[in-house]
Structure 1
Amino acid sequence: MPANVRNPAVAGAFYPGDPAEIEAMLARLFDRKSPSPNHPAPKALIAPHAGWSYSGAVAAAAFQTVEGRAFHTVVLLGNAHAARFDGIALDPHDAWRTPLGYVPLDAAMRFRLTALDPRLFRQSGEAHRRDHVLEVQLPFLQYILQPGFNILPLLFGQNPAGGYRQCTDDLLSVMSDADLLIASSDLSHYPSSADAESLDRATLQLMAALDIAGLERHESAVIQCRVPGLETAFCGPDAVKTVLEIGRRKGWRGEVLACRNSGDAEGGDRSSVVSYGALVFRES
């Protein structure tokens, strides 16, 4: 058992707190059809981070693409939802625990990033302690991947516009082809379900096209249109843009896998929703 462990903050709330309940729920969420052998191995995913009863089926569509694969390190990227800080927070623990067990952190990659850019990358267990956006991804990984992988959780705090480009430079210098990137983000927040469907469709198409400039124009335009209830087009901007920038430089190809919103859940309120999308990025 690792000595220095980050314990789960949202088990029993965003996802079940009992291992048997987690596995039963994941078994229901995953489509057990074998993935197509003609697809290149995924290099990155974008997956949602809401409670599994709302977004679990969409998240499963993303994680299904890596079923049974082996990765050395899964780099988890998200924008902080539970703390305010500058730069990018790296978690200092040796492992993260979920009800399904422990997953080690890649201490070597963490050290290399902090050595490369100590003003940007800062170790902060407090930044990660209560945040759900990366934790909710971990049971999916434990369930679907071959054992033996590490994780590197990164949370973006307050950063200058375009700061994702520096993160991209640094990640490209430390990652290998044996690693996987995951950006954690939900889509539109609080429009009606009808408005969300058109907004989210455009957002996902721009993400799949690796079009960061187009995504920024789209985000600005929908805010200026004053869509009733809308607060944001997507809530993981730095995380998503880092994946898109890496994909653009690497020549990856994006694919939209799924999209739904909280109004689709049983008893969901369609007048004010949060939306969820899943994408996969592969080498061309």
Structure 2
Amino acid sequence: MRILKDFILIIFTGVLIMIQDCSAKEYRESIHAGSWYPGQEKDLRKTIQVFLENARTKIAGEVYGLISPHAGYMYSGPIAAFAYKAVLDKEYDDVIIIGPSHHHGFYGASIDKMRGRKTPLGIVEYDLELAERIIKENSKVLTYDPLAHSEEHSVEIQVPFLQTVLKKFKSVEIVMGTQDLKTCEVLSEAIFKAIKGKKVLLVASSDLSHYHSQKTAEELDNQVIDAVSKFAPELLYKRLSNDSCEACGGGPIITAMLVAKKMGADKAKILMYATSGNVTGDYSQVVGYLAAAFLKDGEEQKVGVDLGFTEEEKMKLKEIARKTIEAVVRGKKIPEFKDIPEKLKEPFGVFVTINKHGNLRGCIGHIYADQPLYISCQQMARAAALEDPRFNPVTEDELPELEIEISVLTPFERVKDIKEILIGRDGLIIRRGYYSGLLLPQVATEYGWDVIEFLEHTCEKAGLPRDAYKLKDTEIYRFSAQVF
């Protein structure tokens, strides 16, 4: 009996030694491939590419960090794509991915020390020197705990997206066992000191609220979105601590914000928010997903043309649109406005676009310059809020969360040669028989399309085959707009 006990002890000790000594000798397998996301290279590449093609992300400035969700790709992949499109084809020396621990309880944060990560898309080498430097900054809080990484999906789920959008890079994978403010501050300071001299991208992996109704989820998640948009890590921690909101990766988000601020980021931009209900159609119990970026503000790519509207005139037109939307959503009459600037009385075509947390919520336009601009703006604002057939009517609860964009159109002209089309300046109209489709100038820049892709997507908008623009009897028109 004694011999058996000694044998078991030896085996158990050996297993522990193997676990402890797995650092820097093997590549970490991606155990969720084939279940949480496609397990075959071809299928995975195609899945991610479709997500990226459908993501509208317009970023002006240098991106230091991202927030990306970590559910299965069928649920959160389309939202994650909005974050990763912000760094498409960018170059970074290292990517530091920070996720929460879902399976193993421990104090502090664990920095993976295996050799690298293996996914269906290939191998990402870990930057072991950087990992060691981070740990050495505070080895009481920052360690390597193999069990923290063995089953954790929150970090793994980010890697195939990174392999798709970035050029060559090394990574550091960090799993947080505790997410109190002290741990966030210790980890953020260690990362900042360790990365000096390197160009680094931070990825905070987190879902938001879990298993509430859609209405409750949006109320909770708006508290996270508000704190993130204000670039206020302490405010987010306070709200998470008093249960005003939920985020399983709240610690990673706060840590990434703290590091990004020290690196020079001066703002956060919300790129997309949605819930699992948008995929499943079941809004009784949903999970919230957020995509966002931390960046240093830069000059935005110019879209459209300048039609000479003053800031006062643009503000007045936006006021007309917003007050009209607020009135009609509340069941009131369209308001009358006085002191209309003369330029707003001139005839222009116009589109009114309503967005909510990066999501299109309504967009209706009138392309003909056949009545005063402010009147067309009122009519299109009402239609975008209540009559866009793609969406349910805007509700009163949504009003504080809406962003309004106005596009005042130039006259359209027939395109004789597609070389005339300029991305960023032109919008497109394609007509063939009874079919017609229009896309505004900003759409091509937000999706990152070239001229051919712009033509193809406008054909699709018209309900035509993607290559219908090549046919002789297809009419192509271009126009521009002042967008504000």
Q: TM-score, normalised by structure 1?
A: 0.89
Alpha-carbon distance in 1 for matches of 2:125, 2:75: 28
Q: Which amino acid aligns with 1:119?
A: K
| Greater RCO (CA < 8 Å, at least 6 residues apart) | 1
Deviations 1:146-182 (A, max 9, x none): 1x20000011113654221111111110114511000
How many Å apart are 1:194 and its aligned residue? 1.6
Alpha-carbon distance in 2 for matches of 1:222, 1:86: 21
SS at match of 2:61: coil
Alpha-carbon distance in 1 for matches of 2:248, 2:180: 16
Alpha-carbon distance in 2 for matches of 1:41, 1:181: 12
Alpha-carbon distance in 2 for matches of 1:115, 1:162: 17
Q: Which amino acid aligns with 1:233?
A: E
From 38, 43, 52, give the equivalent of 1:30: 52
Alpha-carbon distance in 1 for matches of 2:247, 2:179: 17
How many Å apart are 1:46 and its aligned residue? 0.5
Mapping of residues 113-192 of structure 1, within 5 Å: 113-146=134-167, 148-158=168-178, 160-176=180-196, 177-192=198-213
From 35, 60, 66, give the equivalent of 2:81: 60
How many Å apart are 1:81 and its aligned residue? 0.8
Q: Which amino acid aligns with 1:156?
A: M
Alpha-carbon distance in 2 for matches of 1:242, 1:277: 16
Deviations 1:226-249 (A, max 9, x none): xxxxxx611112111111222344
Name the counterpart of 2:101: 80
Within the alignment, does 1:202 sit opposite 2:228 as a pair?
no
How many Å apart are 1:251 and its aligned residue? 4.5
Rate the CA distance shift 1:110–1:217 in 2: closer, same or farther, 3 A.
closer
The answer to whether the 8 Å contact 2:92/2:169 transfers is yes
SS at match of 1:77: strand
Q: Which range moved further: 246-255 or 105-114?
A: 246-255
Alpha-carbon distance in 1 for matches of 2:261, 2:133: 24
The answer to whether the 8 Å contact 1:8/1:96 transfers is yes
Return 5+ residue gaps in structure 1 as ranges: 224-231
How many Å apart are 1:85 and its aligned residue? 1.4
Deviations 1:31-81 (A, max 9, x none): 378975x71121000000000100001100000000001111100011111
From 246, 249, 273, give the equivalent of 2:286: 273
Mapping of residues 101-120 of structure 1, within 5 Å: 101-120=122-141
Name the counterpart of 1:229: none
Q: Which amino acid aligns with 1:51?
A: G
From 243, 247, 271, give the equivalent of 1:257: 271
Deviations 1:158-214 (A, max 9, x none): 365422111111111011451100000001111101221232223112112122232
Q: Which amino acid aligns with 1:255?
A: K
Deviations 1:212-233 (A, max 9, x none): 232234335555xxxxxxxx61
Alpha-carbon distance in 2 for matches of 1:170, 1:217: 22
From 246, 269, 275, give the equivalent of 1:233: 246
From 36, 39, 42, give the equivalent of 1:17: 39
Return 5+ residue gaps in structure 2 as ranges: 1-23, 298-484
Alpha-carbon distance in 2 for matches of 1:102, 1:217: 39
Alpha-carbon distance in 1 for matches of 2:56, 2:213: 36
Alpha-carbon distance in 1 for matches of 2:98, 2:241: 23
SS at match of 1:201: helix
Name the counterpart of 1:7: 29
The answer to whether the 8 Å contact 1:190/1:272 transfers is yes
**RMSD of the alignment, in Å?**
2.0
Q: TM-score, normalised by structure 2?
A: 0.54
Alpha-carbon distance in 2 for matches of 1:72, 1:151: 9
SS at match of 1:182: strand
Alpha-carbon distance in 2 for matches of 1:91, 1:216: 25
Based on CA coordinates, which of the two structures has the bigger radius of gyration?
2
Alpha-carbon distance in 2 for matches of 1:251, 1:7: 33
SS at match of 2:212: coil
Rate the CA distance shift 1:276–1:242 in 2: closer, same or farther, 3 A.
same
What percentage of aligned pairs have identical amino acids?
28
Alpha-carbon distance in 2 for matches of 1:130, 1:216: 27
Q: Which amino acid aligns with 2:43?
A: E
Rate the CA distance shift 1:165–1:68 in 2: closer, same or farther, 3 A.
same
From 32, 42, 66, give the equivalent of 2:63: 42
Name the counterpart of 1:243: 256
